[in-house]
Amino acid sequence: MTIRPPSTALALIGLLALTGCSAGSLGSSDSGGDGKVTISYLIGNQDQDVKTAEQLVKDFTAKNPDITIKTETRPAGTEGDNIVKTRLSTGDMPEVFNYNTGSLFQAIAPQKNLVPLSDQPYVGDLDENFKKTVTADGQVYGVPVGGFMGGAVLYNIPIYTRLGLKPPTTWAEFMANSAKIKAAGIPPVIQTYGETWTSQLFVLGDFHNVAAVEPDFADKYTKNQAKYATSPAALKGFEHTEAVHDAGYENKDFASAKLPDGLRMLAQGKGAQYPILSGVVANMVATYPDAAKNVGLFALPGDDASKNGLTVWTPGANYIPKTTTGAKLDAAKKFLAFIASPDGCKSQTAAGAPTGPYAVKGCELPADVPQAIKDMQPYLDKQGASSLALEFVSPVKGPSLEQITVEVGSGIRKAKDGAARYDEDVKKQAQQLGLAGW
Amino acid sequence: MRASAPKAYTPYSNWFYLPSAIIYGVLFIVPTFASLYFSLTRWSLFESKFIGLENFKLFFSEPQLVKGFTNTLIFAVVTSGSKVVLGLLLAVLLTSQIVARGYLRSVVFFPVLVSTIGVGITFTVLMNPDHGLINGGLSALGIDGPGWLTDPKYALLSVAAVDIWKGVGLATLIYIAGIVSIPREYLEAARVDGASSWETFRRIVLPLSRPATVTVIILSLIGGLRSFELIWAMTRGGPGFTSDVIASVIYKQYQAGFYGLSTAGNVVLFIAVTAIVLPLSYFLNRKEVDL
């Protein structure tokens, strides 16, 4: 006797298929027809990012009671990159999300995945430098959250005053200062390789000096004509990382210390100089209120004092994925318009000390910003004393720089070798992006 | 109605196999072949471009790879070897007549039950060169402990030591089962013949627990070759690239968005593990029959 195909088994398979399909759309149950809209907003899980996002949502929804915004967090760093890419490619991205500008923005295929914002009225109010970093094929896709940041050296002002030092404008002065600080029994340079990204500043923050000597470096770099290992100006960053280690200027626990350790040492005067992004200042001031006046900032020094200047990071941006449509798209656009307005900046200032000037016209910094942020202003005001970091002027950025700079700064690898290795590393990224000439 | 006589009798109709066949196909066969295809493309999750064997070429020219391969082998051999030796010794101890045997057996097994990531994070704190308990204890004895995880000389071996601590319980358990199953007559006969404990161990326990040894070697070698979680939780392949293993090299490529390249790496890892374990398993099992 043959058994007929059991209809229950087939039904079961059908059911499996059905549930498999609908699982993804469960979260986005639509609102009723009463004009109320709920959208989600994906942000990085760093303390300051969350605080800023919550404040923005609070102030925005107070003015727009019909719109509800739920925040969702994701990890920062490369893990976050992956989540953003995966959710975009599966069409599962919340209606608004926050992500980097510059080379990382280019890597999420904006033309294909994001809603262009060029037709929005506020686009004219956005800072030109910022706009470049969220533009692909002539379309603007992002709205800035947070301020510009400087990649620079934060220093402890009381130590400098006590030893009679002044902020250096050349590398030689920097090393001379460090020698005096070391002689006074204080570790001159704070390094925190327990968090690898913090090791890159001597290289990435040196880009203004590179651009000052070789103005076309970024362009040639994108075209595979200039290399870190063969350009003497670009190699300096790696050499500086090595020099600081060879001179014994790092704090003793540099290999295991993390960012909060570094900030503690700097704020308490247990270390004198910390090359880092000015984005960390808000957190430092929140933990050590005295650091607001005790910690200053100077740009990473190069060879030529007259060309000394600040390397600048543009803020991250909020984007709308193409999967957002209808009433939700309108709500998302309204939210972005609020962020790109002076009211939006005020809201961000309320959430924590700004990291630097805002990228929206009409946004003023409050009078009581920390000293380190004030120290950025002269560089930005002076013509030619600031440059965007390389990752904002070239899409080419390798993923392993932080491991390489850890090796160079720990004496495991020589500067020249590290630079050559980084050149190999970026090749993969350039090929992945399909750039010409690689 | 079973007219086709040569067909072997089975109590189930073919329809019965359909659900599992579908699950197997969708979850295992399709991804396996899809990954073979994607390993031949430059894949950004948004689009993929066929580039032939470029990824494999790139993967093998990756400077981390040589280091990753060496480290993987060192890690696998060190952990596997130590688990065999320590597991056997512990099993001999725990099958002897000692007090609180049951309790001690479970204590040895406890680390196996704990989450790998949890163990990794705990030991990262313990091994911190300046505030860690381990160096704190050593300095109380007047020894200046090294940076277990931050010194390139020790990083990989420190992780291996933690892996051994965590995995030796399973090896011990397998050995206990092996030793307990040795017929008591052999041991009694040996004692009658005047064999010392060492001779009993050398001539009876060791050869007759060969099946256990084979299982332990193969399990821990495979585990060591594809080890990842512990290394990632403790050093992330660092400092720099000094404790990178193949799996962490592949993971970093995946994180960087080189999806095609990392898929190619996984295909290579699969082939490498098979190439090492298959002959080894054949060799060890054949010996067992010869005995």
By DSSP bridging, strand A149-156 and strand A310-313 are: antiparallel
Look at A3 and B13 and tell me if their CB atoms are within 8 Å: yes
Q: Which residues of B touch A413 (CB under 8 A)?
A: 240
Amino acid symbol at B170: L
Q: Which residues of A touch B130 (CB under 8 A)?
A: 252-253, 256
Tokens 């599992």 found at: B20
**CB contact set of A55 (below 8 Å; sequence gap of 6+):** A347, A348, A350, A351
**Average pLDDT for chain A:** 88
Residue-level pLDDT at A11: 44
Q: Which ipTM value was assigned to this complex?
A: 0.78
Strand spans (E) along A122-172: 135-136, 139-140, 143-145, 149-156
Cis preceding linkage at A366, omega within 30: no
Alpha-carbon distance of A108 to A164, in angstroms, equals 49
- Tell me, yes or no, if A407 comes closer than 8 A to chain B by beta carbon: yes
Residue of A nearest to B262 (CA): A428
Q: Which residues of B touch A252 (CB under 8 A)?
A: 130
**CB contact set of A395 (below 8 Å; sequence gap of 6+):** A102, A103, A106, A107, A222, A430, A433, A435
From chain A residues 105-164, the ones with a CB under 8 A of any chain B CB are 107-109, 112-113
Q: Which of B128, B147, B241 sits opposite A403 (nearest CB)?
A: B241
Look at B242 and A78 and tell me if their CB atoms are within 8 Å: no
Amino acid symbol at A266: L
Q: Which residues of B touch A406 (CB under 8 A)?
A: 238-240
Distance from CA of B55 to the nearest CA of A (A): 10
The 3-state DSSP class for residue A92 equals coil
pLDDT level of residue A24 (50, 70, 90 thresholds): very low
- Tell me, yes or no, if A20 comes closer than 8 A to chain B by beta carbon: no
Q: Which residues of A touch B18 (CB under 8 A)?
A: 9, 13
Q: Which of A1, A109, A256 sits opposite B147 (nearest CB)?
A: A256
pLDDT level of residue A413 (50, 70, 90 thresholds): very high
Compute the count of residue pairs across chains A and B with CB atoms less than 8 Å apart: 104
Amino acid symbol at A233: A
Distance from CA of A206 to the nearest CA of B (A): 21
Distance from CA of A427 to the nearest CA of B (A): 10
pLDDT of A33 higher than 80: no
Strand spans (E) along A63-178: 67-74, 96-99, 135-136, 139-140, 143-145, 149-156
pLDDT level of residue A17 (50, 70, 90 thresholds): very low
Produce one character per residue of A300-326: b if its CB has 16 or more CB atoms within 10 Å, e if not: bbbeeeebbbbbbbbbbbbbbbbbbee
Backbone angles phi, psi at A43, to 5 degrees: -135, 165
Say which residue, B26 or A23, is predicted with more confidence: B26
Q: Which residues of A touch B47 (CB under 8 A)?
A: 109
Angle between helix B155-180 and B63-95 (nearest 10): 40
Distance from CA of A367 to the nearest CA of B (A): 40
Distance from CA of B2 to the nearest CA of A (A): 8
Q: What is the DSSP string of A236-264?
A: HHHHHHHHHHHTT-B-TTTTT--HHHHHH
Look at B130 and A256 and tell me if their CB atoms are within 8 Å: yes
Residue-level pLDDT at A34: 63
- Tens digit of each residue's pLDDT (9 = 90 or more) over B82-111: 999 999 999 999 988 888 888 999 999 999
Of A14, A421, A22, A409, the residue nearest A237 (C-alpha): A409
Q: Which residues of B touch A196 (CB under 8 A)?
A: 236, 238
- Tens digit of each residue's pLDDT (9 = 90 or more) over A97-149: 999 998 889 888 899 999 999 999 999 989 888 998 999 989 999 999 988 99
- Tell me, yes or no, if A431 comes closer than 8 A to chain B by beta carbon: yes
Question: What's the sign of the alpha-carbon dihedral A274, A278, A282, A285?
Answer: positive
**CB contact set of B244 (below 8 Å; sequence gap of 6+):** B64, B67, B68, B71, B237, B252
Of A143, A138, A137, A106, the residue nearest A123 (C-alpha): A143
As a whole number, mean pLDDT of residues A14-35 equals 45
Residue of A nearest to B15 (CA): A5
- Tens digit of each residue's pLDDT (9 = 90 or more) over A261-295: 999 999 999 999 999 999 889 889 989 999 999 99
**CB contact set of A166 (below 8 Å; sequence gap of 6+):** A160
- Tell me, yes or no, if A91 comes closer than 8 A to chain B by beta carbon: no
Look at A412 and B238 and tell me if their CB atoms are within 8 Å: no
Disruptive mutation site among B1, B15, B262 for chain A (greatest number of A CBs within 10 Å):
B15
CA atoms within 13 A on the CB side of B51: 19
Q: What is the 3-state secondary structure (H, E, C) of A165-201?
A: CCCCCEHHHHHHHHHHHHHCCCCCECCCCCCHHHHHH
- The structural domains of chain A, ordered by start, are 36-145+316-351 (3.40.190.10), 149-313+374-433 (3.40.190.10)
Q: What is the DSSP string of A334-399?
A: HHHHHHTSHHHHHHHHHHS--SS-BSBTTPPPPTT--HHHHTTHHHHHSTTSEEE-HHHH-S---T
Produce one character per residue of B168-194: b if its CB has 16 or more CB atoms within 10 Å, e if not: bbbbbbbbbebbeeeeeeeeeebeeee
pLDDT level of residue A10 (50, 70, 90 thresholds): very low
- Tens digit of each residue's pLDDT (9 = 90 or more) over A196-212: 889 999 999 999 999 99
Tokens 């064999």 found at: B195
Distance from CA of B275 to the nearest CA of A (A): 28
pLDDT level of residue A4 (50, 70, 90 thresholds): very low
Residue-level pLDDT at A16: 43
- Tell me, yes or no, if A99 comes closer than 8 A to chain B by beta carbon: no
Backbone angles phi, psi at B152, to 5 degrees: -55, -25
Amino acid symbol at B204: I
Chain-centroid distance of CA A419 in Å reads 22
Topology of the domain comprising B55-290: MetI-like fold (1.10.3720)
Residue of A nearest to B26 (CA): A17
Chain-centroid distance of CA A271 in Å reads 25
Alpha-carbon distance of A80 to A75, in angstroms, equals 5
Angle between helix B63-95 and B101-113 (nearest 10): 160
Angle in degrees, CA A425, B265, B66, rounded to 5: 65
Host H or E run for residue A296: strand A295-299
Residue-level pLDDT at B5: 52
Look at A428 and B47 and tell me if their CB atoms are within 8 Å: no
The stretches in chain B having pLDDT less than 50 are 1-3, 289-291
Q: Which residues of A touch B255 (CB under 8 A)?
A: 78-79, 81-82, 399
Chain-centroid distance of CA A360 in Å reads 17
Residue-level pLDDT at A192: 94
Q: Which residues of B touch A421 (CB under 8 A)?
A: 63
pLDDT level of residue A15 (50, 70, 90 thresholds): very low
Residue-level pLDDT at B156: 92
- Tell me, yes or no, if A76 comes closer than 8 A to chain B by beta carbon: no
Q: Which of A9, A113, A193 sits opposite B46 (nearest CB)?
A: A113
Domain extents in chain B: 55-290
Alpha-carbon distance of A202 to A238, in angstroms, equals 7
Distance from CA of B252 to the nearest CA of A (A): 8
By DSSP bridging, strand A139-140 and strand A135-136 are: antiparallel
As a whole number, mean pLDDT of residues A365-387 equals 87
Residue-level pLDDT at A13: 44
- Tell me, yes or no, if A85 comes closer than 8 A to chain B by beta carbon: yes
Gyration radius from chain A CA atoms: 24
